[in-house]
Amino acid sequence: MPNEPAVPLLNVQIDGVWHQFPKGTRVIEACEQVGIFVPRYCYHKKLSSPGNCRMCLIEMGFPRLGPDRKPELGADGKPIINWMPRPQICCAQDVAEGMAVRTDSPLVKECQRGVLEFLLINHPLDCPICDQAGECPLQEFSVDYGNSQSRFLENKVKKPKAVQLGPRVTLDDERCILCSRCIRFCQEIAHDDVLGFVDRGSHTVLTAHPGRSLDNNYSLNTVDICPVGALTSTDFRFKMRVWFLKETKSICTSCATGCNTVIGTREDVIYRQTPRENDHVNSSWMCDFGRLNYKYLEAPDRLLEPQIRSEGRLVPADWPTAIGQAALQLKQFAGSEIAIVASGRMTNEELWLTTQLANSLGVKRIDIVPRRGKADHILLSKDRNPNTNGARLILGSSSAPGAKLLSIASAVRSGAIKALVILKENAMHLGLSVEELGQMPALIVMNTLPNEATQNATVVLPACGFAEKRGSMVNGKGRLQRLNRAVRPPGNARDDWEILRDLLQATGGGNSLHSIEEVFRRISETVPQFGGLSLSKIGDAGVHILQIEELPPTQPQDQKAIEEAIEIQTRRRAVHEQVHEARARVGASSIEREAAPPR
Amino acid sequence: MTITVPRPKLNWRERLYLPAIASGLAITLKHFKNMLFGRTKVTMQYPEQKWDSHLPDYYRGAPALVRDSGGRVRCVACQLCEFICPPRAIKIIPGEIPPSDRFAKVEKFPQEFDIDMIRCIYCGMCEEVCPEQAIFLRKDYAITGFTRADMVHHKEKLLEIGGVMHGVVLKWNEKK
């Protein structure tokens, strides 16, 4: 219970038991805090309370006051309650001193049954095809509080079905129970007030403002909060029934915010990502861009087999051969002739192993690729690398992450660098041409998807995507969070940390590490901010480990170098976009394009 | 706990056993007599001869999909049978009915519907769970094939076995 000393505690009686709650607590929340669930549709704790669904009706009363304006006490020494003759909604009401509440009286039960009967009058019996079935409060409360039979003999009101409310949201107006959660979400959280009710009575329908559509980057959250199947995700629609989904707690890796997510999978196929509540990070929301940014894991051209260059072309090899070949190529060169380009999309464990690899080879030139986008000041961060802070802590570089990238590129161009290791990044982000990369004596690529540079690699190591591995990342606000494995990697792709561990061993550095927990333990021994932590201690909600305000400001020359690197990426992406545009199917939204493979 | 089962008290006639032997022999002789006059068939010559017409109404043979009298595949791909199926014999890939289709109102249909008849245990749970009365256990029992792939009944085969089922499922008609 949030209990700050400044907020006075009030005495409230709930179902005959007196409790204390801080002033300002909603009655519905107070009931929940003492383990009494009051059914609700329109109420959502992160939104305002219009009180329009009437599902949370309760009986309410106040102490009977005597002539001296003091509560009259009963035989038990407690105040005698004067009950209001009519039920009240408890979602829009704050607790008050002496307030009494009854949530299970015959009147309340009768009200709940009546409200449900009204809600179901025009609700279609779509459950066999409705995507909400299985996680639908209307189904659940019908069983818990409703009637088993319908008394309604007339025809149900017909409303539009399968309305495209926006590029990613499909609306079924018949299923809508007019709770207005989606409208309030758009007003209060997404700041894009496009939804509203039109027409009256049973004919009221939810609709977007004429000429507008629900196309903001947070539109799919309305699908999550919709208590029925009225708003459905066009992406998830009819794909899989929810009761089949295995739910894995993880985090989104599409930007530095690191929204907490639940990945819904079945038999190694990801069907959806939904936000998971964490008030330190993402409240209950996540952006559509991050939510849909998982499809590249199932791309048809995903790297599935280790490959080595033989007689001028890449041929499949087994893992020991590929790792051995990579180690052999690297050992030909001095540490000063090798550069490692890691990624801000790698986990702390992978970055730590990367530093070990660099130490073992004597490599000094090591950095990540900076990645920027437009921040929206809701959740989406400017920094599109999920683990820039992890790289900052673990690579331990004196300059800001990404600042050395272009100096690596110029060293490659001048010939000072003869071997380049590209980990989970696109070598094209260095601003080098395919030919320049093709002349490298050793170009070792570890990635999930191919790109223009992959064909010139000397060794290709297929790795895992974010949903296929475990690990930890430090988000933009310095919170250490955990990734969990939701699906197994396809083909012969391997866990990134295992590839790096094997490469480290093959180059002669380091002893054996058998589990990712051991890797994390080694980090906690070497990096002070991780001290005393373990993967399991991070927990589902994460741990704050880094005070962002206390970080030294980025040097102006670093800032300039990072901006130059970003500029190269932006130019390249523009060209890529044109190519992609030509292939993109008609009507694909900008977010789907942005969510396209991070090559 | 021990349960003592009381032995029946036999009277002198029962203890003699001879009357019981005699009545047993009488039954044997009756069958022998019927055999001689060709009134009893001992072996049915399967598969030339079949007992199909004698199968009871509650017989559980191969599961099959049915169409309604309007020609619509009743299944809406709710996947409840896939969920309930104890040996996980059913695999459904749902699809969306295009808006131009005659049955667009139904919205969802099974793009693929496979029942692996090697796995199927003929328990009938799919029929029981189906909210659309779309899957029924028919009286087909001789399900054979040369390969494992042969033994998977695809949607076409299931509809062929199922045929048309008349009766009321009013959920998707114009009234609702």
For chain B, the domain total comes to 2
Q: Which of A125, A238, A244 sits opposite B171 (nearest CB)?
A: A125
Is B4 within a domain? no
User: Cβ distance A368 to A441 under 8 Å?
Assistant: no
ipTM for this prediction = 0.84
A327 with A289, same domain: the answer is: no
Which residue type, as a one-letter code, is found at position A78? K
First to last CA, chain B: 60
Please tell me the predicted confidence (pLDDT) of residue A125: 86
For residue A104, the 8-state DSSP code is: S
* Window A:233-252, CB contacts with B under 8 Å: 237-241, 243-244
Q: A363 in helix, strand or coil? A: coil
- Measured in degrees and rounded to the nearest 5, phi and psi for residue A467 equal -90, 0
A158 with A216, same domain: the answer is: yes
A128 with A234, same domain: the answer is: yes
Is A48 within a domain? yes
B66 with B22, same domain: the answer is: no
User: Cβ distance A357 to A509 under 8 Å?
Assistant: yes
Residue keyed to tokens 């330190």? A280
Is A328 within a domain? yes
| Nearest-angstrom CA–CA distance, A341 and B12 | 102
Do A156 and B176 lie within an 8 Å CB cutoff? yes
**Tens digit of each residue's pLDDT (9 = 90 or more) over A177-189:** 999 999 999 999 9
State percent of chain A over pLDDT 90.
79
Question: For residue A2, what are the β-bridge partners?
Answer: none
Q: In a 10 Å sphere around its CB, with 0-12 CB exposed, 13-18 middle and 19+ buried, how is residue B133 labelled?
A: middle
Do B175 and A155 lie within an 8 Å CB cutoff? yes
Please tell me the predicted confidence (pLDDT) of residue B100: 92
Angle made by CA atoms A477, A483, A485, in degrees to the nearest 5: 170
- Which of A205-219, A225-239, A362-376, A573-587 shows the lowest mean pLDDT across its residues? A573-587
Taking alpha carbons only, the member of A262, A297, A259, A317 closest to residue A461 is A317
Taking alpha carbons only, the member of A88, A79, A121 closest to residue A107 is A88
Taking alpha carbons only, the member of B117, B130, B127 closest to residue B76 is B130
Do A238 and B96 lie within an 8 Å CB cutoff? yes
Residue B65 in tokens:
């999909």
Structure confidence at residue A553 as a pLDDT band (50, 70, 90): confident
**Tens digit of each residue's pLDDT (9 = 90 or more) over A244-255:** 999 999 999 999
Which residue in chain A has the smallest CA separation from B92? A240
CATH number where A193 lies: 3.30.70.20
> How far off is chain B from A153, nearest CA to CA, in Å?
11
Task: State the pTM of this model.
Answer: 0.88
Strand A246-251 to strand A231-233: parallel, antiparallel, or no bridges (unpaired)?
unpaired
**Tens digit of each residue's pLDDT (9 = 90 or more) over A295-313:** 999 999 999 999 999 988 9
**Tens digit of each residue's pLDDT (9 = 90 or more) over A140-175:** 999 999 988 889 888 899 999 999 999 999 999 999
B112 with B132, same domain: the answer is: yes
B34 with B68, same domain: the answer is: no
Is A258 within a domain? yes
Question: How many other β-carbons are positioned within 10 Å of the β-carbon of residue A232?
Answer: 23
Q: Which of A124, A128, A237 sits opposite B78 (nearest CB)?
A: A128
Mutate to test the interface with B, among A120, A121, A125, A129 (most CBs of B within 10 A): A129
A521 with A376, same domain: the answer is: yes
Strand A88-89 to strand A57-63: parallel, antiparallel, or no bridges (unpaired)?
antiparallel
Residue A372 in tokens:
């920027």
Q: Is B96 on the interface with A (CB under 8 A)?
A: yes
Taking alpha carbons only, the member of A563, A555, A548, A571 closest to residue A370 is A563
**Tens digit of each residue's pLDDT (9 = 90 or more) over A389-429:** 999 999 988 888 989 999 999 999 999 999 999 999 988 88
A103 with A216, same domain: the answer is: no
| Nearest-angstrom CA–CA distance, A146 and A38 | 14
Q: B20 in helix, strand or coil? A: helix
Q: What integer best gives the mean pLDDT of chain A?
A: 91
Tell me which residue range forms the domain holding A400.
302-554
Calculate mean pLDDT across residues A5-14.
Answer: 88
- Judged against a pLDDT cut of 60, whether residue A582 lies above it is answered with no
B19 with B91, same domain: the answer is: no
Please tell me the predicted confidence (pLDDT) of residue A422: 95
Residue keyed to tokens 């191919």? A450
Residue keyed to tokens 């068939």? B41
Domain final residue, candidates A277, A297, A317? A297
Mutate to test the interface with B, among A157, A172, A238 (most CBs of B within 10 A): A238
| Nearest-angstrom CA–CA distance, A390 and A480 | 9
Is B87 within a domain? yes
Calculate mean pLDDT across residues B26-55.
Answer: 87
Beta strands in chain B (DSSP E): 63-65, 90-96, 108-116, 135-137, 152-153
| Nearest-angstrom CA–CA distance, A480 and A354 | 19
**Tens digit of each residue's pLDDT (9 = 90 or more) over A317-369:** 999 999 999 999 999 999 999 999 999 999 999 999 999 999 999 999 999 99
Which residue in chain A has the smallest CA separation from B83? A244
| Nearest-angstrom CA–CA distance, A305 and A320 | 12
Taking alpha carbons only, the member of A105, A106, A115, A109 closest to residue A53 is A115
B89 with B122, same domain: the answer is: yes
Please tell me the predicted confidence (pLDDT) of residue A508: 84
Please tell me the predicted confidence (pLDDT) of residue A4: 55
Q: Is B88 on the interface with A (CB under 8 A)?
A: no
Tell me which residue range forms the domain holding B27.
12-42
Q: Residue A372 to residues A57, A256, A369, A393, A565: CA-CA distances in angstroms?
A: 49, 10, 10, 19, 10
B37 with B57, same domain: the answer is: no
Is B117 within a domain? yes
A426 with A455, same domain: the answer is: yes
- Measured in degrees and rounded to the nearest 5, phi and psi for residue A21 equal -135, 150
A289 with A389, same domain: the answer is: no
Is B91 within a domain? yes
Contacts of B79 in chain A (CB under 8 A): 240-241, 244
Please tell me the predicted confidence (pLDDT) of residue A315: 95
CA quadruple A541, A544, A549, A550: dihedral, nearest 10? -170
User: Cβ distance A60 to A35 under 8 Å?
Assistant: no
B36 with B82, same domain: the answer is: no
For chain A, the domain total comes to 3
Is A153 within a domain? yes
Q: In a 10 Å sphere around its CB, with 0-12 CB exposed, 13-18 middle and 19+ buried, how is residue A313 labelled?
A: exposed
Is B141 within a domain? yes
- Judged against a pLDDT cut of 60, whether residue A436 lies above it is answered with yes
